[in-house]
Every structure is written in C-alpha cells, then in structure tokens.
Amino acid sequence: MKRTTKKRMRRNAWMIILLLLLIMTSISGFVLIMSQLEKNTNNHNQEEIEKAREIKRSQLMKKANQLVKGYYYQEAIDVLRSDSEIVNERIKDEVKKIEAMMMELKPYTGRIEHVFFHSLIVYPELAFGPQSSQPQGYNYWMTTALEFQRMLPLLMERGYVLVRISDLYDVDSLGNVTQRDLYLPEGKRPLLMSIDNVGYPENRKKEGFASRLFINQNNEVSAMIRNLEGLEIESRTAEVFPIVDDFVKENPAFSYRGAKGLLGITGSWGIMGYDPKITSEVATAKVIVQRLKETGWEFANHSYTHADGKYFSESSTLEGIKEDTQLFNQWIIPVIGESNVFIAPFGITLKGELYQYFIDEGYTFYLNVDRRSQPKIIGKSVLMPRINLDGFVMNKDKEYITQHFFDVDKVYDHRRPAFE
Ligand SMILES: [Zn+2]
C-alpha cells in the first residue's frame, strides 16, 4: 500500500513536471509567435508609413512643380520642406534643382511690350453683318475671340509671360518711381496686357459681343452672351477674362506669379455689364471685382465719360478733365477700388498741366497708344505706350506684328470683311 502510494506520488510528480514543461513550452511558443506577429505588424506598419510618406512626397513634388512653372520658386521650396517627416534624398535633390534654377534667373533688360484689346467679337456674322452699327469700326479696332485664342499659345512660344506693372516699377511713398529688376528665366520676356472699356452697351449685345461678366458655379469669372438664337448663355470663350484664366490654368508658365491683365473701366459704359448707379448691380459688380483681383487681374481708370471734346482730345480743358475724374471718383472707384493707372481714352497723350493733373491725382502710370515707343519715366510718372493687337494693326502693320508678337497669318480671322 505504502509502496503504491509512493509510486503514485512519484508518477504524479513526473506528471506535474511534464505538465509544467508543457505549459512553459506553450507559453514560450506563444510568446515567440506573438513577438513574431508583432514584428510582422511593426514591419507592416513601417511599410504602411513609408507608403503614405511616398504618396505625400509625390503630392508635394507635384505641387512644387506647378509652383515652379508659375515662377513661385521660394514657395515651391517651402512646400517641399513643409513636412520634415518626409524629407529624404529625393526631396533634397528637388530643392537643389529649384535653387539652381533660381541662380540662373537674369534681370530682364529688353523691350517692355504692353498690348491691349477691346471686348472680343464672338459672332462676326453679327458684328460685321448688315444690322451692325459700325462694321468698319469693329473690323479696325476689335479682335475676334478666335484670333485672341490663337494668339495666346503663339505669344507663349515667343517667350512672353504676363506680368503686372508693379513687377516692373517701384513707387515709393513720395510717389517717386523707379524701374525694378524683374528676374526671369533665359528666353522669357514680360508682357503687359490691358482690356479697354469692359462695358456692354445694349447695341453690342446684339452685335456678337458678350453681354456681361458673372461668377459661375465653379466660382470662376465667366461671360454671358446672347447667342444667335437670342438666348443668353454662359461662354468661357466670349471674353478675354475666362480665355486667359483657362489658358493660364493649363499653361502656368504664361503668367508671372499669377499676373493676368488690367481692366480699363469706363463709367459711362457700365462696369463689366453693371450700372454703377444701381445699388443691387453695384453689389454684384463688387463681387466680380473681388474675384478678378484674387485671380490676378487689376483695374485702371479709363475715364468716366470716354468722350472727346472738352474731355479727351486736342482741345481738352483742365476743367473738363477735373469734372471727368470727379465723376470717376464718385461712381467707379467705390466699385473697383483705388488705382494708380490711367488709360487715356483714344490713347491721347495729354500735355503740360493736363498730364500733370493725373500725376497729382495719384496716377503714376499714364497709358497712351503708340506702336513703337518704350515706357519713359517723366518726373513722378511713367508714360507707357501700348499696342493694339486688332484688325487695323494686323492689316496695316503686319510685318512688325509678325516680327514682335506672332505670325499674323496664323491668327487672322478670315471671317472679317475685306480691309479698306
Ligand atoms: Zn476706350
């Protein structure tokens, strides 16, 4: 009995040891498996993190690339450095590449070209048709939407880049104006652009021009036009503004740091299709002005009356010019904001005290029309010539335009009537 008990006890002890061993091995096995699992998970997490970083890198590089195309070099570098977690050799190389590009920029020293347009002819059959109020005037002084669309890529091919006047000149607090170095890549040259009047009188709406600007559902400045059936429809190709905005979106290299052009507003024509004397229309116009400014456009005084005689002609009087400017200050400035650019109606160059009046009123830049001259600093002002790229110039000055801007034969709209 005792022996058997002893034997059993021994057996039990063995069993316990075995059991303990078994438990220990299972535990260590379990721990091993768990740690392996954890390691796998860690590896997996690490991979996931790296994958996410790589995606972020590509996103930032894409964004930086777009910025570089639009001449925002430092901004592109800032974007690449915006997340220290993801900086690696690839990012560092990209930063170096952009820094090298910045070193290559040269201050521009060539001619400064300022081109201008009026509202575009969208339907030549109306503008030049039997019902048109002035088919010959339109043929001379207007550009068709088709021509304008053809010009942009050709201007870009020639190296032109839209800039702001403030990219070319500094004006200090006393009104002294000096030329400013504009650093551009080799082969690029600045282009200033302005659009005169930007008003849509009733007769023009029936003559194949846009009827007003407005903001579409994508928060873009767009144009409304009465189509050939008489319905008012949105068109992205009926005015300079949506055409340029869309072109720059596709070709950021055509705009220096987002610059677009200048709208020369004329009081008596309404502001972009809105009456400055009707409160509700003013509210709408202000929203469009705001959006245009946000997207690179600027505004200029193109006179209130846009009338000759005592206002803007050889026989202009100081009294007439004061009257016009006061009306502009009263009705237009509250809508478009202050500007230091005056675009002379009919391109007239006022002389003596009449010219001085505009400088005294705070207009540093006086824009006239002249196809050959270059801007000139005169006292506290710049007399800046502009060239009209319209039917008249494409016919009468074809060689010069082809030499300086684009091949006229590739642009000219043959729906125009024969030129006299
Ligand atoms: Zn005008």
Among residues 350, 384, 391, 385, the alpha carbon closest in space to that of 369 is found at 385
Look up the pTM and report it. Answer: 0.89
Ligand 1 mean position, distance from CA 137 (Å): 13
- Give the residue carrying structure tokens 């201007």: 155
Mean pLDDT by 10 residues, the chain (420 residues): 67 74 73 73 85 93 97 98 92 97 97 98 97 96 98 98 98 97 98 97 94 98 95 97 98 98 94 96 98 98 94 94 97 98 96 96 97 96 98 97 98 94
Domain ranges of the chain: 2-104, 107-411
Residue 341 pLDDT: 98
Ligand 1 mean position, distance from CA 91 (Å): 50
Strands (DSSP E) found in 287-396: 298-301, 341-343, 365-369, 376-378, 381-388
Alpha helices per DSSP H over 105-260: 124-127, 135-141, 145-157, 202-205, 240-250
Residues 6+ apart with CB under 8 A from 318: 353, 354, 357
Q: Report whether 265 contacts 286 (CB < 8 A).
A: no
**Rounded CA separation 269/288 (Å):** 17
DSSP β-bridge partners for residue 204: none
Ligand 1 mean position, distance from CA 263 (Å): 11
Ligand 1 mean position, distance from CA 189 (Å): 26
Strand (E) or helix (H) holding 41: helix 2-69
Domain 107-411 listed as CATH 3.20.20.370: yes
DSSP state of 390: S
Residue 30 pLDDT: 67
Ligand 1 mean position, distance from CA 344 (Å): 8
Other CB atoms within a 10 A radius of the CB of residue 111 amount to 10
Ligand 1 mean position, distance from CA 247 (Å): 25
Ligand 1 mean position, distance from CA 199 (Å): 10
Ligand 1 mean position, distance from CA 194 (Å): 11
Residue 4 pLDDT: 64
Ligand 1 mean position, distance from CA 287 (Å): 23
Ligand 1 mean position, distance from CA 197 (Å): 5
Ligand 1 mean position, distance from CA 196 (Å): 5
